[in-house]
A = this chain, B = another copy of it.
Amino acid sequence: MSLRHAVLGLLTEGPASGYDLLKVFEASLANVWPATQSQLYGELGRLADAGLIEVVAEGPRGRKEYGLTEAGLAELRRWLIEVEPESFRRTDMLLRVFFLGVVSPEQAQAYLREQGAVAARGRESLEEIRSTVDKGDLENAPLAVYGRIALEWGLRFTAMQQEWAEWAARQVDRIGERHTAAAPGTDGSGQSRP
């Protein structure tokens, strides 16, 4: 139920329409909390019904600008301070690792190396954002500081993942050395545990 709070958070920067918010979700929040158009308009309706946001202006093409209400800001603060973040991570990438024994060591290594490369590419694009952000030094404005902190998480995460993937690929080498003959192909033949 955090899309709700993401919307409230974005509206602290000033009023915006669903369309505006959608662009923010696609651009800056895409890596943290993706949202689709459907979901967003639905949530805006529900937030307005709940009195957490309200229409503050109407524009051309039926444009509705929403602004945060007092209740909305209070709810955002409550969520930030009182509600514990859910810690579990459903990671597709890691789930696969558990089952890499069913493909050949070469295929497993290819998988791990690819994950390392994906992380490296991610890190590069974040580095670019960093250099842009760090240039326009905004005198420690809170937003810049917290945005920079989130960015740093991404930088460290991708670096960690890259190093881990490379390490992991090397570990698989050590199986390869012992099981060269036993490696099953993709032919769909029998199970690993007889």
Contact = CB atoms under 8 A, between A and B. Distances in A.
B102 A77 contact: yes
Nearest to A143: B101
Nearest to A186: B77
B88 A142 contact: no
A16 interface: no
A33 B95 contact: yes
A136 B81 CA distance: 43
Q: Interface range on chain A: under 10, 10 to 19, 20 to 34, or 35 or more? A: 35 or more
One complex includes copies of this chain to the number of 2
A89 interface: yes
B103 A77 contact: yes
Interface stretch (A37-45, A58-66, A161-169): A161-169
Contacts of A99: 5, 9, 12, 76, 80, 146
B6 A95 contact: yes
Contact of A93 (B6, B87, B107, B168): B87
A130 to B, nearest CB: 14
Contacts of A174: 140, 145
Interface of A: 2, 5-6, 9, 12-14, 29-34, 68, 70, 73-74, 76-77, 79-81, 85-103, 107-108, 111-112, 115, 118, 122, 140, 142-143, 145-150, 152-153, 156-157, 160-161, 163-164, 167-168, 171-172, 174-175, 178-179, 186, 188, 191-193
